[in-house]
Amino acid sequence: MRFLFYTHSAVSDWNHGNAHFQRGIMRELVARGHEVIALEPADGWSRSNLIAEQGPFAVERFRKDFPELMAVTYDAGFQHESWLAGADIVIVHEWTDPELVARIGRIRGRGGDFTLLFHDTHHRAVSATQAIAALQLEHYDGVLVFGEVLRESYLRAGWGRRVFTWHEAADDRLFKPLPEIDRDSDVVWIGNWGDDERSAEIAEFLIEPAHALALSGTVHGVRYPPEALTALADTGLRYEGWIANADVPKAFARHRVTMHIPRRPYRESLPGIPTIRMFEALACGIPLVSAPWSDVEGLFRSGTDFLFARNGAEMRKHLHDVLNDCELAKALAASGLETILARHTCRHRADELFDILAACGNRAAAEIKPAREAAA
């Protein structure tokens, strides 16, 4: 089958965590023998910022890290109709320009011979409802959302004909334990500043515990303001800026513990949705301590796969315990990895995608499921 993914960017993961899961799904589909093309705007802000900061080498780096992925840029004169004509499945991400979202829908409505899905992995459905409500989704065969609470929001608002929960997951071809690398530092935090959506949380759950425990370690991410960089420097943690997602497994392997600090809109308005980085960290077999969020869908086993910290004092205690109790650290790492491999890899999500496509009436996807079950 021929898949087209309309992405904000497949090439750039600069302040763009959605690229992680999209790359993983596309790689899984390619591994299964499907043709996959990612289409992205030539002037997308993530790609533009990456090139401005890292130079043209960053694009070559993507091609080196993900040689099986084909990314094509488009501009105002791009012939979308020609590309859509040869597609079997088209998945349009929520960050796509609204006019293009509508244009693709109209092509499908005029008899386009492909299954068309809209993919939402953001909080705008609850934080900017007018923007989502204005999207023209009437010709889309289905909507994919990365949490049940978001699916319920779409259904209540009447956005889309069918809405399916499709959680993010780890690309375990890339994210896996690397025991050959020595763990020579205490803590690693990989996360962007996030427009003050978690500035207080970063102070409470990262900066203050690291300072109190005199931890060694590393912080990766972009858009940190000067005052945040000063606070990190005072802790003794190294700030190393952007990190290519392909390098993240090595970064996890060099540290003894990591943490999950969700953005406030997800914690308050979209319970049950962790960031992609939590899946990736557990897939790498590193112990994880999480700031508060509500795992209402039971994705993980709290206290077994990771530890919850309700406040900064608990984060400090959990970090101390993990760093000083080898058996606790090993148990957390093993349990977290077990849950990822059992439930939350891109292989699992690809299987779910074909089930969703079959539910949307795609006959080829419906034929794939019995063959998959017979092979299993």
Q: What is the mean pLDDT of residues 340-365?
A: 97
35-41, strands of its sheet edge to edge? 70-74, 35-41, 2-6, 89-93, 115-120, 142-145, 163-165
Where b means 16+ CB within 10 Å and e means fewer, 186-200 reads bbbbbbbbbeebbbe
What confidence score (pLDDT) does residue 122 get? 84
Instruction: Judge whether residue 129 has pLDDT over 90.
Output: no
- Interstrand relation of 238-239 and 288-290 (parallel, antiparallel or unpaired): unpaired
Burial of 298 (0-12, 13-18, 19+ CB in 10 A): exposed
Which residue is listed with tokens 């019995």? Answer: 370
**Residues β-bridged to residue 144:** 119, 164
Concatenated DSSP letters for 93-131? ETTS-HHHHHHHHHHHHTT-SSEEEEEE-SSHHHHSHHH
CATH (residue range 2-169+345-375)? 3.40.50.2000
What confidence score (pLDDT) does residue 374 get? 67
Band the pLDDT of 372: cuts 50, 70, 90: low
Average pLDDT, the chain: 94
255-260, strands of its sheet edge to edge? 238-239, 217-220, 185-190, 255-260, 288-290, 307-308
Q: Quote the tokens at residue 145.
A: 């959302």
Q: Give per-residue pLDDT as tens, 194-234.
A: 777 889 999 999 999 999 999 999 999 999 999 999 999 99
Domain ranges of the chain: 2-169+345-375, 185-343
Angle of helix 276-283 relative to helix 18-31, nearest 10 degrees, comes to 60
Question: What is the Cα–Cα distance from 51 to 58, expressed in whole angstroms?
Answer: 6
End-to-end CA distance of the chain: 21
Instruction: Judge whether residue 143 has pLDDT over 80.
Output: yes
Distances (CA, A) of 55 to 51, 239, 247, 359: 4, 20, 18, 44
Band the pLDDT of 352: cuts 50, 70, 90: very high
Domain 185-343 sits in which CATH superfamily?
Answer: Glycogen Phosphorylase B; (3.40.50.2000)
Beta strands per DSSP E along the chain: 2-6, 35-41, 70-74, 89-93, 115-120, 142-145, 163-165, 185-190, 217-220, 238-239, 255-260, 288-290, 307-308
Question: What is the Cα–Cα distance from 341 to 124, expressed in whole angstroms?
Answer: 30
Q: Give per-residue pLDDT as tens, 250-299.
A: 999 999 999 999 988 778 878 899 989 999 999 999 999 999 999 999 99
Q: What is the mean pLDDT of residues 67-92?
A: 97
Are 206 and 224 in contact by the 8 Å Cβ rule? The answer is no
What is the pTM for the complete model shown? 0.96
Question: What is the Cα–Cα distance from 374 to 117, expressed in whole angstroms?
Answer: 27
**Residues β-bridged to residue 185:** 255
* 98, amino acid identity: P
